[in-house]
Amino acid sequence: MRRGTKTWVGRVGAAALVMFALGYVPYHVYARSGLARTLQLRRDLGALRARNAELRTGNDRLLREADALRSDPEAIERVARAELGWVRPGEVIVDLSRPELESRPVEPRAPAGSPR
């Protein structure tokens, strides 16, 4: 082999080795070392913290409502009227909602021109 050929083969080999290192090292650091998993877990943690804040707000609201139902007569009356339909003696109820249409079976019609 000529010296020029050896130099050319060596350069191509060195370039291939550098390309392999530049491709493998970032893959190894990102995918195999857990960096991708760490980033995903951080996103999940942020979502869980936001969900916990929402649930904490809802729990606080329900706690205030439960306390009001234990001690506030107006809150108790409001729930009794809305959910149970209770009224005080002497009150007149006027129901303005439309009644539901009763479902009637549909009778089959005879073809036009045929006697019944």
pLDDT of 47: 97
Q: Give first-to-last CA distance, the chain, whole Å.
A: 110
Question: Whole-prediction pTM value?
Answer: 0.48
Determine which helix (DSSP H) or strand (DSSP E) holds 7, and give its type and residue range. Answer: helix 3-27
Low-confidence ranges of the chain (pLDDT < 70): 1-5, 29, 32-33, 101-116
Identify the three-state secondary structure at position 68: helix
Identify the sign of the CA torsion 87, 93, 99, 102: positive
φ/ψ bin of 94: left (φ > 0), alpha (ψ from -120 to 50), beta (otherwise): beta
